[in-house]
Amino acid sequence: MKAYLEIVKDIMERGVLKANRTGVGTYAISGALFEHNMSEGFPLLTTKRIPYRLISSELEFFIKGITDKKWLQDEKNHIWDEWCNPQKVKYGHDKETKAKMKEERDLGAIYGWQWRHFGADYNSFDTDYTNKGVDQLTNLVNQLKKNPNDRRMIVSAWNPKDLDKMALPPCHYQFQVTVINNKLDLMWSQRSVDVMLGLPFNIAGYATLLHLLAKETGLKEGKLTGFLGDTHIYENHIEGAKLQLRRAPYALPKLETNNFTSIFDWNYQDTSVDDYQHHDPIKFEIAV
């Protein structure tokens, strides 16, 4: 996926070392653009193996508006294990706090909850939020079907009122869809971009969302665009980045979804990646 590798190369050539809250320095650039036409294949990175099951199960978690990380853990997805609602356990780097954060199930008012209940009062992961707040995702789907030429089809996860209730303020904080020539395009905006570990997941996650919205509305799959803010590579990821730049990308795989009735009834097991050829995995440590 050349568009991704060009971003990696750009940071390696002109990234500036800067500090951040994690204590692990990053080489960063300000402002980058990712673009991909879905007709060229599904944008799952091939210069290392990406576990698509983790991406698709997290997307189902978001679509359903769930905030209990045990749901993910039950699906053998542990990408949210280290975080929790800061009102339950205040964020910290010490060993005792990290253990408490890992034990706490409640992630707070994160991504999917904002997609489905924006403006409601968040209490806990096991509260019934039925018909509470603004269901932005349902509104977007309805508008796509009723008036696909609308230019206001935006879903936001950035809610200043709830930032202190989120395990992590949203990195990818909004997405917009637009329809041109019967093709559904999706654009997402991201404030903070962990290029080596997070960005491949973000790309494939929003590509899957584009795919599902197209199936929901009968539209063709168009272009995926990411507007990236503080775009960075962690210091301890540099060697892995160099290795990926030495690898030649393979042809992109295909995405297949079976038994589809609605995006709201979709199960991640119904979607699979076919013909996925990739290089060996590269281990990157996560900065919490």
List the catalytic residues.
171
Q: Do 231 and 20 touch, CB atoms closer than 8 A?
A: no
CA 166 to chain centre: 16
- Interacting residues of 200 by C-beta distance below 8 A, sequence separation 6+: 4, 44, 45, 50
Q: What is the number of alpha carbons within 13 Å of residue 81 lying toward its C-beta?
A: 10
Place of tokens 């205040």: 90
Among candidates 214, 227, 151, which has minimal Cα distance to 188? 227
Residue 243, token pair as written in the block: 């290795």
Q: What is the number of alpha carbons within 13 Å of residue 119 lying toward its C-beta?
A: 7
Among candidates 139, 138, 145, which has minimal Cα distance to 184? 145
Q: Do 195 and 244 touch, CB atoms closer than 8 A?
A: no
